[in-house]
Amino acid sequence: MKQLISLILLLVVSLSAGAQSKTEKMIHRIVASEMARYRKAWMIDTKKGPKWGYTQGLELKAMLDFADVQGDDGYRRMVYDYVEGYTDTLVREDGSIRTYDMQTFKLDDINSGKLLFRMLDYTGKKKYRKAMDTLRHQLEIQPRTLDGGFWHKQIYPEQMWLDGLYMSAPFYAEYSQWFETREKRAMSMDDVEHQFCLIYNRTYCDKCKLLHHAWDADSIQSWADKKTGRSAHAWGRAEGWYLMALVDYLEIYQNNSSTYYAQDQGAIDSLTYILQSLCGRMLELRDEETGAWHQVLDVTDKADNYLEMSVTPMMAYVFLKGVRLGYLDESYHKEAMRTLRGIEHHFIDEDENGLVVLKHVCRVAGLSDTRNGSYEYYIKEQQVENDPKGLGPWIMALTELYRAEK
């Protein structure tokens, strides 16, 4: 096993040889470590065979993002071939997707569709367009609340979760740019903006000045406030999902803004305000010593509220990308640097094979009859190492830093 790992690490290093910054070296180490752990990309985050899942899409898209900006064609081909090992395994020749069932209406299932734009461009395989059409059709018929918000999934009726914005909104917007006519495209972008604004208005808490994890339009779920429908707390990763989705959407808008109608600027002004106000509040809540954020954001005075390593790199990514796009003040670059240094100094390690280990990532957290959204619930969920929900955003944040340094 150690010999195989050494060979993989040597291959990645040889393809990325030459003068490298500290940031570039760290990204190469993380990517090489993951390729060593998972010889085939579909093995990431699963022990039961190939799975169409959002975590695979999150981490693999992060790898593609770096491959596209680092400038070495050999390294780029290696990463793209690795990622295509996932998409080619999961997407059949007729465009159907293994393990995917549209009738569950899971917004999570949309996320890996983000990989398919670049895989279509890279390989020319028509099956990827067909698979994207399928995912877009799910959004067309996705169950909605009365005011137009996407249900998080079929088994969670009338519920919107912050997580769902990251899973669906950037794909929805990018698909509209690639494949829809001007009028249809404008309608799709309006719908995406509506999703952002609706869940902001429904989950915003005046007391903590953050968004709570989810909203039940009927206010009948055991975890929902009977008056507001909000869940009880601002969970760190949920805040990160929403803000990452927001900067990703704003980039898509910015890259294509010449195709929109004039009235779109009002919605963009609203989204810009949301981004700036939430980032300002998050900065106030950051741990001074480590530059990290707690698992539960609105309860920071309890000793067991640990510093969590998915929301932390997520926020570094949001800060850096927000600065690059011109939506956040330049001072956020320095703040992101502080957070990334904190991750390096306090939350990473090496295993016995010399592979990078990211510690203190919450494995999963949700809301249901058995997951009541209380402070105690979030704190007791399992902490793990090397979860894609931490590694993916960490690669994404470092890639943004690398872009800024070039």
What pLDDT digit, counting tens, does each position of 179-189 carry?
Answer: 999 899 999 99
Residue 125 β-bridge partners? none
| pLDDT value for 398 | 98
Mean pLDDT for the stretch of residues 152-162: 98
Burial-class residue 345 by CB neighbours within 10 Å (0-12, 13-18, 19+): exposed
Mean pLDDT for the stretch of residues 12-31: 81
Task: Say yes or no to pLDDT of 8 above 80.
Answer: no
The CA-to-CA distance between both ends of the chain, in Å, stands at: 36
Q: Which of 398, 333, 383 is nearest to 62 (CA)?
A: 398
CA torsion 133→134→137→143, rounded to 10°? Answer: -150
Residue 6: which pLDDT band, with cuts at 50, 70 and 90?
low
Q: Is 165 helix (H, G, I), strand (E, B) or coil?
A: helix
Q: What is the CATH number of the domain that holds 60?
A: 1.50.10.10
Least confident segment among 33-42, 225-234, 259-268, 322-331:
259-268
Task: Say yes or no to pLDDT of 262 above 70.
Answer: no
Q: Is 280 helix (H, G, I), strand (E, B) or coil?
A: helix
- Listed in sequence order, the DSSP H helices in 38-161 are 54-69, 73-90, 114-123, 126-141
Query: How many folded domains does the chain comprise?
Result: 1
Please, are residues 198 and 344 in contact by the beta-carbon 8 Å criterion?
no
Task: Say yes or no to pLDDT of 3 above 50.
Answer: no
Please, are residues 35 and 12 in contact by the beta-carbon 8 Å criterion?
yes
Residue 265: which pLDDT band, with cuts at 50, 70 and 90?
confident
Instruction: Give the Cα-Cα-Cα angle 128, 130, 136 (nearest 5 degrees).
Output: 105
What pLDDT digit, counting tens, does each position of 26-52 carry?
Answer: 999 999 999 999 999 999 999 999 999
Domain membership of residue 294 as a residue range: 2-405
Q: How much is the mean pLDDT over the chain? A: 95
Cα distances from 27 to residues 273, 393, 395, in angstroms, run 32, 12, 6
Tokens of 132: 């994207």
- Owner of token pair 């994404």: 396
Residue 266: which pLDDT band, with cuts at 50, 70 and 90?
confident
